[in-house]
Amino acid sequence: MSENLNMFLMAQKQIKDACDKLKCKPAVYEILKQPARVLEVSFPVKMDDGSIKIFTGYRSQHNDALGPAKGGLRFSPTLTLDETKALSMWMTFKGAIVGLPYGGGKGGVACNPRELSLREKEEVTRAYIRAIAPLIGPQMDIPAPDVATNAQVMGWVMDEYSKLQGFNNFGVVTGKPVIIGGSQGRTQATAMGCCLVIRAAARKLGIEFKGARIAVQGFGNAGSNLTTILHDMGAKIIAVTDIKGGLYHPDGLNPYTLVKENDLLKQKTDAGIIDYPGAKVISNEELFAMECDILIPAAIENQITGQNAGNVKAKILAEAANGPTTPEGNEIIKTKNIFVLPDVLASAGGVTVSYFEWVQNLQSYYWTKEEVYQRLEQKMIAAFENVYNISQKYSVDMRSAAYMVGIKQLADAMESRGWLS
């Protein structure tokens, strides 16, 4: 029987399990099992060849008990409403676990960004923002970069929304270029946050971080920044894979020389881009089965499943991606005594620095990168310690503990607002 990989059902099960462990009022799960608002839009865009193409977009706002919705905006040809809803639910928990005054949001457009010219991508972005504008704003819902979107796209979002408002509104979106209200350190924030909790976990487990063997799946924004930050912290990057495969070197790879050529990882030298000397070409499945101290899935969802979880040999599994481990895969991982840093904790650095950017926009007072990283470390380490302590108190795994921390925050907020009585 094949595994059910519907992300929305996965998110619902995670919430239900945590509610049951905490013996919450039934109303807590009833409220949290569905997004509070979901918008589906269709809008026309004039393409470069003069034709008109209709695009479909989504925005899901899961819960706003703690504050306005917050979450990314992605461009993906496979984007569905259920995926958008699930991602908004996970964002609610990321914010709650780290102690941010946010609820969860997520959205995007079902399109293949590789097939769009830069002008077409801008037009799709602006048309999407016009369509969802009634639901977003600095005190309602604040988008951010996600899959196939970046600082430039967020700049278009801010500009289009500001035109609709009739004045500059920097706080409507985070992850913008620094020159128009973006925060220092935002590009590396997800990776930096993940690295901080990985190092904290290694200390708890008595793993010597200097020289620790690390394998990373994914070489996009999160994966590439993870490798360089961990390398600088003294760890050894022994393997990295991307969509078409990757490289393994027992003595470690230098991430600063790794580049992608036609989605294949190679080395950049003064002589040009060449095959990495001494490295073995490997697949994603070989990376998951590799003997290492820390395994980091930093690509897309549903990568560690019931079919391959039994092969994982890492001591720490740090989920830098959203939903990389399926429920069946998670059950197998739990039997192997592998310490899991769940996605709702490990990948919360991005939303944390997005919060910092939002605060800076509201104050019109901006921090240095050093100040941003100092505050990020305080938030991430406090969140890790809180989740770890709950896991010890209730004798549960770290994923369950993370959801229990989030559920407690949300239940207290909803109780205080009179939603549960």
Query: Which residues does 282 contact at the CB level (< 8 Å), separation at least 6?
Result: 239, 241, 245, 246, 247, 248, 290
Q: Is residue 398 classed as helix, strand or coil in its secondary structure?
A: helix
Residue whose tokens read 């519907």: 6
Q: What percent of the chain has pLDDT over 90?
A: 82
Cβ distance 203 to 385 under 8 Å?
no
Residue whose tokens read 């820390």: 294
pLDDT digits (tens, 9 = 90+) for 110-127: 999 999 999 999 999 999
Q: Which of 243, 249, 237, 238 is nearest to 275 (CA)?
A: 249
Catalytic option among 94, 106, 121, 236: 106
Query: Which residues does 261 contact at the CB level (< 8 Å), separation at least 6?
Result: 273
- Number of Cβ within 10 Å of residue 249's Cβ equals 17
Q: What's the whole-number mean pLDDT along residues 243-268?
A: 79
Query: Which residues does 335 contact at the CB level (< 8 Å), separation at least 6?
Result: none
Q: What percent of the chain has pLDDT over 70?
A: 95
Distances in whole angstroms, Cα of residue 4 to Cα of each of 101, 158, 309: 33, 38, 16
CA distance 215 to 93: 26
Question: Strand 52-63 vs strand 103-110: parallel, antiparallel, or unpaired?
Answer: antiparallel
For this structure, is 106 an active site residue?
yes
CA distance 143 to 63: 15
Half-sphere exposure (CA, 13 Å, Cβ side) for 405?
30
Cβ distance 386 to 380 under 8 Å?
no
Write down the architecture of domain 7-14+37-171 according to CATH: 3-Layer(aba) Sandwich (3.40)
Q: How far is CA 70 from the centre of its chain?
A: 12
pLDDT digits (tens, 9 = 90+) for 157-181: 999 999 999 999 999 999 999 999 9
Residue 262's pLDDT is 55
CA distance 406 to 66: 11
DSSP helix, strand, coil percent of the chain (3-state; round to 5): 45, 20, 35
Q: Is residue 90 classed as helix, strand or coil in its secondary structure?
A: helix
pLDDT digits (tens, 9 = 90+) for 370-397: 999 999 999 999 999 999 999 999 999 9
Cβ distance 157 to 314 under 8 Å?
no
How would you list the strands of the sheet with 264-269, edge to edge? Answer: 258-261, 264-269, 272-274
Cβ distance 57 to 129 under 8 Å?
no
Which pTM does this prediction carry? 0.91
Q: What is the mean pLDDT of the chain?
A: 93
Distances in whole angstroms, Cα of residue 415 to Cα of each of 27, 65, 194, 357, 412: 10, 9, 32, 29, 5
Query: Which residues does 19 contact at the CB level (< 8 Å), separation at least 6?
Result: 28, 29, 32, 407
Backbone angles phi, psi at 117, to 5 degrees: -75, 170
Tokens of 19: 């509610």
Lowest mean pLDDT of 97-111, 134-148, 241-255, name the range: 241-255
Residue 189's pLDDT is 93
Domain(s) of CATH 3.40.50.720: residues in the chain: 189-341
With cut-offs at 50, 70 and 90, classify the pLDDT of residue 219: confident
Domain(s) of CATH 3.40.50.10860: residues in the chain: 7-14+37-171
The domain covering 189-341 belongs, at the CATH homologous superfamily level, to: NAD(P)-binding Rossmann-like Domain (3.40.50.720)
Instruction: Classify burial at 293, counting beta carbons within 10 Å of its beta carbon; exposed 0-12, middle 13-18, buried 19 or more.
Output: buried
Q: Write out the H or E segment, with its range, that includes residue 284.
A: helix 284-288
CA distance 381 to 402: 13
